[in-house]
Structure 1
Amino acid sequence: MYEIRGLSLFANVGIAEAMFKDIGVNIVLANEIEEKRAKFYQEVYPKSEMICGDITDEIVRDSIVKRAKELKVNFVLATPPCQGMSVAGNRDPEDPRNQLIYYAVDVIHRLNPAFIMLENVPRQLKTNIRVDGQLIKIPDYIKIEFSDKYIFNNETLAKTKDFGIPQLRERNIYLLVRKDFGFMWTFPAKQKEVYLETAIGGLPSLDPMLQEGMDLTLEKFPEFEKKKMAGMLVSKWHHPPVHPWRQVEWMMHTPTGTSAIFNEVYYPKKKDGTAIHAHHNHYRRMSWDKPARTVTMFNGYMSTLATVHPGRPYKVGDKTLYSDPRVLSIYELFIVMSIPLDWPVPSWVDDSFLRSVIGEGIPSKMARDILQNLLSYLDRVEYHKN
């Protein structure tokens, strides 16, 4: 069986790698610029070597290449930060983060690995970077750099829902195979969609913890502690998120699948009572009969893109209200990101940091299934190359 020995660039905390052990893929080396993320990664993957440093620094880059050669790396996974080109970001064509692909390309050229996986947001296809003083679209740049040595996949847009993951997330993923191997690496066959009802519908309901304190929380939600205990029995990560009362009240009056901006009375307002002008996906509840919306690094805020739990209707007198006026719990995020529920998150990691890194990760099952498809090719053609 062919042994995949990988280098993970822009590794974050290793969410993509969380299921690799299931299929025998070894990430032997990783690089991450942020010390906190690098520490997280190293604690979760103690058998992998982490080089913490800025890949744009030539000394750091040289050390990555040197160590990767020593460790006989034959696969590179590169996921450059996407804030400069994502819909949730500012989309500045000159954003220096967009240029990071240049340094990944340099590392790849120097290693000449057998296999490469380059992942980013779909907007990458239309994003320009500056190379030798000229603006060039990222896909054109990648193909100019690698077409002579590598076979590219034809279809590069991948949707997480097609991998049996309950999330509507789309990514642009280049899968490259060195030409001497003679085959094209493609995505696996599409799997059946999984809706939120199936994925998280059976979990205990949670009331939010109010920013204003426990007294107001218990006044508004008398069953708060009971629900919290039921959630904690499932997992320590299924605990109440914290929100301000005014936002919670808006969402209590917002039906499943709709946004609070369409409410006649309980719509988003500033503290002075004037309406907040928001996008129709802000303050939006997700739907039970669909996968979750794209998980972003801002998944802890109800004011951003479609982060609110679907909720269920209940009666208070003649009024219909909706339960779970909150964002998804971290446990629910694990599910919609297909992160293993027993993933060994370090004890020092707080909710805010964990939510942020989850929002920047590749869903674990997606990454695993793509690598599994590569291994299937290699098994079929009986490659035994190093």
Structure 2
Amino acid sequence: MSIQRNIRILSLFANIGVAEARLNEIDGVEVVVANELVKRRAELYQRIYPHSKMICGDILDDAIYRQVVDCCLENQVDVVMATPPCQGISTAGQQIEDDERNSLTIPALHAISDLRPRYAILENVPGYLKTSIVYNGEIKLITDIISDKLSAHYHISFNVINTDDYGVPQTRERAIILLSRRDQPIWQLPNKHNKKVTMREVIGNIPQIDPFVKDLDSIRFHKLFPKYEERRKVALSISKWNVPPTHIFRQVRAMRYTPTGCTAFDNEEFKPIKANGDFVKGYHNTYRRQNWDTPAYTVTMDNRKISSQNNVHPGRPIGKDEKGRMLYSDARALTLYELMKIMSLPDDWPIPSDTQEAFLRRIIGEGIPPLFVKQLFCMIR
């Protein structure tokens, strides 16, 4: 009878630990050391994961790097997980070729080289696999640098996956680079699921939630949403993060007349308008309701706005106005709780109650769904 050994992980660029939120569901798997540059994120990580050793600081600083490596050696880390910032590469970012963040893979490779863990994973956006950086005075593909530096000791596989193939109710493409030390079994991707999980399955049982419209007086607001308070109380009874989003009237009005899966730009009458009454010119993935019967679109960092990419609740027909035009419910962005469900974060994820919602929304838009990460680590458990 073989005895399974525990898996001790170093999490680099850990943020607040979205990726590792479900690893505690696997016996013997734990993040023992983590590193994050931004103090606010590092402090929140430590509150969520009090048993991990969080080292806050710049991994490019020799003293911080040495502290991370020494702590890993002391704790016998045998897996390195690194998710370097992707804003310089992501199609949702500015795609700046010489963005210094594109080079943050290098200290992760140094850590793998110095620690010689059994396994390592690098995760990023798909464009990561085609990105070049300056390394030792030469412009080289990141993938070539990884191979040159580590292939003597590791079997390396370069993959592009979509998380909706693995039971995550969200379409999110990621580059996944798996490294297996040559004396270990090869780390492989989990099997794809036969069926995709839809938004209806994950958030379809959440009752209607009206938005708060900040630029209407109370009389007009309550005429528009007479059950706002009642619905708000029901929403908060489900989760303290199920808070009605705040929007402006002209955007809410456009979405009230927009069917499921459609954009307000296609409305015959109530199209998106600016404050001066001019029509908005924008992409048709904005002012768009999501679909009930597919996985959600990719959650981005700017997920609180109706005017940003694919952020609006699918909605349901709720009747007609006085002129016979169909109205639709939930003319709003998804609540933070709904986003957590779509990101496959567990309901009991111990987020401190004093965490700011806007901060959490942005962080969640940066993360990789933890349900996929859990399945991935089950492959070596």
Q: Does 1:57 align with 2:68?
A: no
Name the CA distance, whole Å, in 2 between partners of 1:52 and 1:214. 46
1:338 maps to what in 2? 344
Encode CA deviations 1:250-305: one digit per residue, 9 max, x unaligned. 11111111111222322222222222221111111100111000011111111111
2:179 maps to what in 1? 176
1:189 maps to what in 2? 191
Equivalent residues of 1:152, 1:185 under 8 A apart: no
Name the CA distance, whole Å, in 2 between partners of 1:204 and 1:109. 51
Deviates more, 1:3-12 or 1:298-307: 298-307
Structure 1 position 37, deviation (Å): 0.7
Aligned with 1:29: secondary structure? strand
Name the CA distance, whole Å, in 1 between partners of 2:351 and 2:104. 28
For residue 373 of structure 2, the aligned residue among 362, 367, 378 is 367
Listed as ranges, the gaps of 5+ residues in structure 1 are 376-386
Aligned with 1:190: secondary structure? coil
1:5 maps to what in 2? 8
Aligned with 1:106: secondary structure? helix
Name the CA distance, whole Å, in 2 between partners of 1:321 and 1:144. 59
Name the CA distance, whole Å, in 2 between partners of 1:208 and 1:348. 22
- Structure 1 stretches of at least 4 aligned residues deviating more than 6 Å after TM superposition: none
Q: 1:145 to 1:214 in 2, by over 3 A?
A: farther
Name the CA distance, whole Å, in 2 between partners of 1:220 and 1:128. 53
- Could you state the TM-score of these two structures normalised by the residue count of structure 2? 0.95
- Could you state the TM-score of these two structures normalised by the residue count of structure 1? 0.94
Write 1 or 2 for the structure with the bigger share of helix. 1
Q: 1:214 to 1:197 in 2, by over 3 A?
A: farther
Name the CA distance, whole Å, in 1 between partners of 2:221 and 2:120. 50
Instruction: Say what the alpha-carbon RMSD is for the aligned residues.
Output: 1.3
2:363 maps to what in 1? 357
Deviates more, 1:6-15 or 1:65-74: 65-74
1:229 maps to what in 2? 233
One-letter code aligned to 1:85: I
Deviates more, 1:316-325 or 1:285-294: 316-325
Name the CA distance, whole Å, in 1 between partners of 2:57 and 2:217. 42
1:1-386 mapped onto 2 (5 Å cutoff): 1-23=4-26, 24-153=28-157, 156-181=159-184, 183-191=185-193, 192-212=195-215, 215=218, 216-315=220-319, 316-317=321-322, 318-375=324-381
Aligned with 1:153: secondary structure? strand
Structure 1 position 347, deviation (Å): 2.0
One-letter code aligned to 1:69: L
Q: How many residues align?
A: 373
Equivalent residues of 2:216, 2:249 under 8 A apart: no
1:379 maps to what in 2? none
Q: 1:214 to 1:234 in 2, by over 3 A?
A: farther
Listed as ranges, the gaps of 5+ residues in structure 2 are none
Name the CA distance, whole Å, in 2 between partners of 1:133 and 1:285. 48
Equivalent residues of 1:153, 1:184 under 8 A apart: no
Aligned with 2:368: secondary structure? coil
Name the CA distance, whole Å, in 2 between partners of 1:213 and 1:268. 17
* Identity over aligned pairs, percent: 44
Structure 1 position 5, deviation (Å): 0.6
Name the CA distance, whole Å, in 1 between partners of 2:174 and 2:93. 15
Structure 1 position 217, deviation (Å): 3.2
Structure 1 position 214, deviation (Å): 6.5
Name the CA distance, whole Å, in 2 between partners of 1:93 and 1:148. 29
